[in-house]
Chain A
Amino acid sequence: MPDPVVLFFALGLAARLARSDLRMPEPLYEALSIYLLLALGLKGGAALAESAAPALAGQALLAVALGCVLPLIAFAILRYAGGIDRSNSAAIAAHYGSVSVVTFAAGLAYLNARAIASEPTMPFLVAVLEVPALLVGVLLARLGTGREAQLLRTVREAAAGKSIVLLAGGLAIGALLGKEGTAPLQPLFGDLFKGALCLFMLELGLVVGGQLPALRRAGAFLAGFALAVPPLFGALGAGTGWLMGLSHGGIALMATLAASASYIAAPAAMRMAVPEANPALSISVVLGVTFPFNVLVGIPLYERMAAAIA
């Protein structure tokens, strides 16, 4: 049975390619993204309240390490194999090192539909994985230029960005409330989640369709990079998930996270911290290639990887 999340995404994509006048109101898009981030945070937070702190700390450390290594690999490929300038290589590397919460949500929906359980604390690792790559990206862009002071500003701005505020805020509220305390919120933040995700994917299909013309300007190397990196990073994520001692579902989600590329936190952080990098380059491949690849092909692939090593 096809996944509804994928079908809604395909509908949005088809509508944009057919030049339909369908346009999701921007406030609805914003409201849905706030909802999805909070819902994931709350669910993970309630699970955090019942988890062993030492195991979580170990997992968080491994996630930070992964979040630092991925952008370094991406940077090396872009800079030395692709000959792309330092600023653009660093900015694109930050996008690929950081994570896409929606790709994670799509992965979670895929696993749920197949009754594959995963650690309920996974949203905590999403929040942990989101930021390190942004800092590494800024460092790579600024190292040796005498403008390292940008780093503190990036930390501040990334921490105050909406995705971290809502995800980390949801985690904190969920942890304070616990399972019982969050139970009254379940009708809104739990039961409606999958439907809301479908609406959001419809809009992302429209956005991705709009990015396809810009792909031509990104060039064959970047497009190839955007296709090759997700399986490679997915394998590294799966390995990290295995080291963390995660279950089959947990490993699949770690692989999905590592394979995903940020399109909310990273563009916002890179825009101000590395303004000379061309945002059209990174966005066209992140949204035009990597996101649809992960949703359509990647997630089932990462689930298979996880099944093989779990």
Chain B
Amino acid sequence: MTALHPRKLVTVVCEAALERAVLDTLRMAGAGGYTATEARGRGSRGERAGDWEGSRSTEIQVLCDADTAGRLVEALLARYSADFALTLWVSDVVVARPAKFP
């Protein structure tokens, strides 16, 4: 049976205007890759219906180790949480190929 290894899944949901900045932060924190999808919903900054430029949101998922996840969360919250629609959470997951997710 394939061995499974613990990793963190960081999920960031933010306004689409912030996507490039979040991806830059990911790179600086040392994450190896990401998956982004369009999202819509409601949060503390109201409804983001995704129906025009200003109300688009993005969900970005990152698989990485615990250290990278810590750096990433810290950097994102420090830089963007005060002024932008941004929420994030970290889940424990297992992966088959840990080298892909530094």
Contact = CB atoms under 8 A, between A and B. Distances in A.
Given A268-B17, A271-B17, A272-B17, A23 B45 contact: no
A24 interface: yes
9 contacts: A26-B38, A26-B51, A203-B51, A207-B51, A210-B47, A263-B53, A268-B53, A275-B84, A276-B83
Nearest to A23: B51
Contacts of B50: 26
B54 interface: yes
Q: What are the 6 tightest A-B residue pairs by CB atom distance, in nearest-first order?
A: A275-B83, A271-B17, A267-B54, A207-B52, A276-B83, A264-B53
A87 B54 CA distance: 18
Contacts of B45: 280
A276 B80 CA distance: 10
Contact of B46 (A207, A264, A267, A280): A280
Contacts of A23: 51
Contacts of A263: 52-54
Interface in B14-35: 15, 17, 21
B49 interface: yes
Interface residues of B, number: 19
Interface string B34-71: 00001000000111011111111000000000000000
B69 to A, nearest CB: 24
Contacts of A272: 17, 21
A213 to B, nearest CB: 9
B51 A210 contact: yes
Contacts of A276: 82-83
A204 B38 CA distance: 20
Given A268-B17, A272-B17, A283 B54 contact: yes
